[in-house]
Amino acid sequence: MLKLKYVQPKKLKILIVVFTMVGIWGIVFGLWMGTFKASMNYFMIVVLGVVNLILGAFMTYLYLTQVKNVDPRKDSKYKRRK
């Protein structure tokens, strides 16, 4: 099991949207521009778009599987007074 720090769901949702949209844009742009002029640069844009889609899928996996562990010692109600 992959053990990572808890990330707020709002931040994960933003990361999912950003990675997915940039990945789709990179793939579409790279393939569209690659039809006019074959270049290694456009191929690399497509590859990086796929990497962004994979990161978006990983963030989605984290969003769907993470569980918030509540530590009663860190709850403000139980803080010790000095």
Q: The pTM is what?
A: 0.78
Q: pLDDT band for position 38 (50/70/90)?
A: confident
Q: How far apart are CA 48 and CA 69, in angstroms?
A: 34
Question: Of all residues in the chain, what percent carry a pLDDT higher than 90?
Answer: 63
Q: How far apart are CA 47 and CA 16, in angstroms?
A: 18
Joined together, the tokens standing for residue 25 give 């844009």
Per-residue DSSP letter, 69: P
Q: pLDDT band for position 4 (50/70/90)?
A: confident
Question: Of all residues in the chain, what percent carry a pLDDT higher than 70?
Answer: 82
Q: How far apart are CA 78 and CA 58, in angstroms?
A: 35
Q: For residues 29-39, give the mean pLDDT.
A: 91
